[in-house]
């Protein structure tokens, strides 16, 4: 197997393992992992809106609208239309959302401590450096990159 193929395979496996742990060990009660991530994004934003949350989390506006509707219904957040622009919906954490977020952050912080502890003291700085490099690389925009697959035909009769 080529090294770049093995890299992709390993990275995908790590991502799945982390997501599986987050889903089963961090989120509890009625909150899903996506809802938890939405609460995190709201808490980080100066003035969160459905649009800014959609962009920050890389999901469609309709998905973010549904997620925030459920969070509002369950008392975690409040939503209100902007007084300046009726198309913009601002989102704010309520006390219940802040409490849930703080509790879940502690769980998330402890989630992978066993993995960190399993690394030798000499491996830890290397792994941290590699993770920082991956985060930076994954965060870059790939506007000029060539697609890895040929575009699918437009329809059955495409030539």
pLDDT tens digits along 56-92: 898 999 999 999 999 999 999 999 998 888 888 999 9
Say if residues 106 and 89 touch (Cβ distance below 8 Å). no
pLDDT for the residue numbered 144: 44
Per-residue pLDDT band at 109 (split at 50, 70, 90): low
Per-residue pLDDT band at 122 (split at 50, 70, 90): very high
Per-residue pLDDT band at 1 (split at 50, 70, 90): confident
pLDDT for the residue numbered 143: 45
Residue bearing the bigger pLDDT, 144 or 71:
71
Say if residue 49's pLDDT is above 60.
Answer: yes
Say if residues 127 and 119 touch (Cβ distance below 8 Å). yes
Q: What would the pLDDT profile of 18-41 be if each residue is shown by its tens digit?
A: 877 776 665 556 778 788 889 999
Instruction: Supply the DSSP symbol for 77.
Output: E
Both tokens of 29, joined, read 């009660």
Say if residue 53's pLDDT is above 70.
Answer: yes
> What integer best gives the mean pLDDT of the chain?
82
- Least Cα distance to 42 among 16, 60, 20, 67 occurs for 67
User: pTM for this one?
Assistant: 0.62
Percent over 90 (pLDDT), the chain: 38
Percent over 70 (pLDDT), the chain: 79
Residue 125 neighbours by CB distance under 10 Å: 10
Cα→Cα distances 121→71, 112, 113, 130, 147, Å? 41, 16, 14, 15, 40
């Amino acid at each position: 197997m080529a090294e770049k193929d093995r890299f992709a395979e390993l990275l995908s496996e790590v991502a799945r393992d982390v997501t599986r742990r987050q889903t089963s060990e961090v989120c509890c009660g009625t909150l899903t992992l996506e809802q938890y991530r939405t609460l995190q994004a709201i808490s980080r934003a100066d003035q969160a809106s459905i649009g800014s949350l959609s962009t920050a989390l890389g999901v469609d506006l309709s998905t973010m609208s549904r997620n925030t509707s459920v969070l509002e219904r369950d008392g975690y957040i409040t939503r209100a239309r902007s007084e300046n622009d009726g198309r913009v919906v601002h989102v704010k954490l309520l006390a219940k959302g802040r409490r849930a977020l703080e509790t879940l952050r502690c769980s998330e912080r402890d989630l992978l401590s066993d993995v960190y502890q399993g690394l030798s003291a000499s491996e830890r700085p290397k792994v941290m450096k590699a993770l920082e490099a991956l985060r930076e690389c994954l965060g870059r925009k790939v506007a000029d990159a060539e697609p890895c697959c040929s575009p699918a035909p437009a329809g059955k009769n495409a030539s």
